[in-house]
């Protein structure tokens, strides 16, 4: 279900407020020259109209935020497949044609690799390519989704557990694309603000959302256990705490990687790399960081990476928020961004 017509009006009019103010000021200037109005009166009216319009704009923004909160509260059911998501958008009364000009990234392949949550991974690919024309879009999976799309290339890979997938990302990913870079997404990550893409991203071999200064790992589960409450009572131990100050970039769940990087890492061979935590992103960005730098690999600086993606939203790293990033990676944020997609796409604003 789409927003009301009033909400649609707010969305559209807010984007035009600069032009409206310019027209108001132009009208006063013309009136001043044609009718010889008093200069002080014109200035008074100009200030009054601008202040009044500003107050009106502020009230509309407050009302819009209230509508967004109501929308998120009302729409608690999240579509399980992209086909379901399409049906939701088509059922919206206020569906509008696509208004944004597509960003063209011919040197980037959008891809996902998985043996689980196939539908969710495909949804991430479809949403990420909504406003971007990539060099290619690929789903590397051990089984096919219920519905296939012509703009996605489906590549069969053998079933993988988490350990196998980390090995695949290190040893084999470079074999599956020919462009200079790939944008890797997962079930819980996708592009959320295509207009925040920066060409500067392509100057680096690896960019992902920045890690906190310290992260706490569970070696048995091979995943991040905590990044916020380091040393909190009640956590099992001993648990390695990794100091990420040397390089905080970055999380691999939503990441841009060059083929140069992946071919360089593949030379190491995953099974021969002896590190305590075999998360592929930590292997590349932490344990092998100095070696990668020596081989000419460039990691994006944290401030730029913070504009690329967010994961640790509770920390507000570098002032991040949901409106300041190109993409995200976090299971706990997926529902929020899916609802935002449904809300904004139904009125042509995604």
| Average pLDDT value for residue range 170-182 | 98
Band of pLDDT at residue 75, cut at 50, 70 and 90? low
In a 3-state reduction of DSSP, which class is residue 163? helix
Examine the domain organization and report whether 59 and 108 are in the same domain: no
CATH number at residue 235: 3.90.550
Examine the domain organization and report whether 270 and 236 are in the same domain: yes
User: Which pLDDT value is given to residue 317?
Assistant: 78
Structure tokens at 254: 């939503």
| Average pLDDT value for residue range 245-253 | 93
Three-state helix/strand/coil letters over 242-269: EECCCCCCCCCCCEEEEHHHHHHHHCCC
The residue among 191 and 101 whose pLDDT is bigger is 191
Range in 81-90, 211-220, 228-237, 302-311 with the lowest mean pLDDT: 228-237
The residue among 72 and 255 whose pLDDT is bigger is 255
In a domain, 80, yes or no: no
Q: Which domain holds residue 238?
A: 87-345
Q: Are strands 132-141 and 103-114 parallel, antiparallel or unpaired?
A: parallel
Q: Tens digits of per-residue pLDDT, 201-244?
A: 999 999 999 998 888 766 565 555 444 434 444 444 455 688 88
Examine the domain organization and report whether 53 and 144 are in the same domain: no
User: Which pLDDT value is given to residue 322?
Assistant: 87
Name the domain count of the chain.
2
Examine the domain organization and report whether 96 and 120 are in the same domain: yes
Examine the domain organization and report whether 49 and 99 are in the same domain: no
Examine the domain organization and report whether 41 and 182 are in the same domain: no
In a domain, 81, yes or no: no
| Average pLDDT value for residue range 147-152 | 97
Query: Of 74, 99, 133, which residue sits at a domain end?
Result: 74
Q: Does 262 score more than 90 pLDDT?
A: yes
Q: Does 1 score more than 80 pLDDT?
A: no
The DSSP secondary structure of 52-119, one letter per residue, reads HHHHHHHHHHHHHHHHHHHHHHH--PPPSSHHHHHHHHHT-TT-----SPPEEEEEEEEEEEESS-HH
The DSSP secondary structure of 276-315, one letter per residue, reads S---HHHIIIIITHHHHHHTT--BPPHHHHHHHEES-GGG
Examine the domain organization and report whether 39 and 107 are in the same domain: no
């Amino acid at each position: 279900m789409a927003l009301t017509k009033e909400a649609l009006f707010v969305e559209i009019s807010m984007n035009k407020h600069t032009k409206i103010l310019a027209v108001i000021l132009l009208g006063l200037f013309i009136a001043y020259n044609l009718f010889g109005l008093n200069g002080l009166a014109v200035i008074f009216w100009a200030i009054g109209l601008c202040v009044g319009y500003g107050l009106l704009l502020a009230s509309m923004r407050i009302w819009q935020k209230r509508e967004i909160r109501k929308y998120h509260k009302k729409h608690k059911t999240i579509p399980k497949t992209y086909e379901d998501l399409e049906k939701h958008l088509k059922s919206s009364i206020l569906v509008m044609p696509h208004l944004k000009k597509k960003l063209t990234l011919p040197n980037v392949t959008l891809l996902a690799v998985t043996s689980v949550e196939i539908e969710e991974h495909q949804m991430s690919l479809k949403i990420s390519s909504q406003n971007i024309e990539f060099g290619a879009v690929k789903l590397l999976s051990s089984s096919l989704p219920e519905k296939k799309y012509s703009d996605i290339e489906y590549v069969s890979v053998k079933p993988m557990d988490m350990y196998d997938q980390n090995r695949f990302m290190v040893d084999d990913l470079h074999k599956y694309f020919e462009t200079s870079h790939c944008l890797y997404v997962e079930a819980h990550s996708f592009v959320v603000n295509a207009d925040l893409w920066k060409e500067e991203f392509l100057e680096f071999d690896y960019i992902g959302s920045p890690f906190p200064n310290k992260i706490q790992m569970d070696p048995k589960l091979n995943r991040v256990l905590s990044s916020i409450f380091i040393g909190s009572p009640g956590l099992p131990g001993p648990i390695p705490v990794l100091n990420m100050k040397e390089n905080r970039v970055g999380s691999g769940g939503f990441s841009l990687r060059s083929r140069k990087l992946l071919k360089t890492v593949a030379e190491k061979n995953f099974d021969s790399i002896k590190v305590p935590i075999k998360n592929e992103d930590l292997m590349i960005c932490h344990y092998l960081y100095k070696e990668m730098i020596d081989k000419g690999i460039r990691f994006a600086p944290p401030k730029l990476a913070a504009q690329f993606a967010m994961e640790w939203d509770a920390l507000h790293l570098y002032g991040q928020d949901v409106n300041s990033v190109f993409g995200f990676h976090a299971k706990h944020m997926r529902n929020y961004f899916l609802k935002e997609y449904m809300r904004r796409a139904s009125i042509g604003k995604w």
